[in-house]
Amino acid sequence: MMTIARDVSVSGRVQGVFFRGWTQEQAERLGVTGWVRNCPDGSVEAHLEGEEGAVNWLVDLIGDGPASARVANVRVREAEVEGLEGFEVRR
């Protein structure tokens, strides 16, 4: 099993719509570790680590977001694996 990491930036109506909590739920369900946080510019960014299929699936889910969100743009970049444990909502 190969572990990969991705940094994801999501813009649109993604703050105040339970985006971070929803992302945490999806990550934990898929066994993906990392974090998610709101940014001052109104976007949300996340660092995802895990098995390649699970990380890619989560990236796809984030592209849709929770029902109340309106995702306008998703930017995904390769990242360094940090060996994080669990998935946290950062403030």
Verify whether residue 77 is a known catalytic residue: no
Name the catalytic one among 13, 37, 38, 56: 38
Partners of residue 71 on adjacent β-strands: 12
Q: CA dist 57 to 28, 31, 42, 76, 86, Å?
A: 13, 11, 24, 13, 17
Ordered per-residue pLDDT tens for the chain, 91 residues: 799 999 999 999 999 999 999 999 999 999 999 999 999 999 999 999 999 999 999 999 999 999 999 999 999 999 999 999 999 999 8
Verify whether residue 75 is a known catalytic residue: no
For 3-81, CATH number out of 3.40.50.150, 3.40.50.2300, 3.40.50.20, 3.30.70.100 equals: 3.30.70.100
Predicted confidence at residue 39, as pLDDT, reads 98
Name the catalytic one among 6, 20, 37, 70: 20
Concatenated DSSP letters of 30-89: HT-EEEEEE-TTS-EEEEEEEEHHHHHHHHHHHHH--TT-EEEEEEEEE-------SEEE
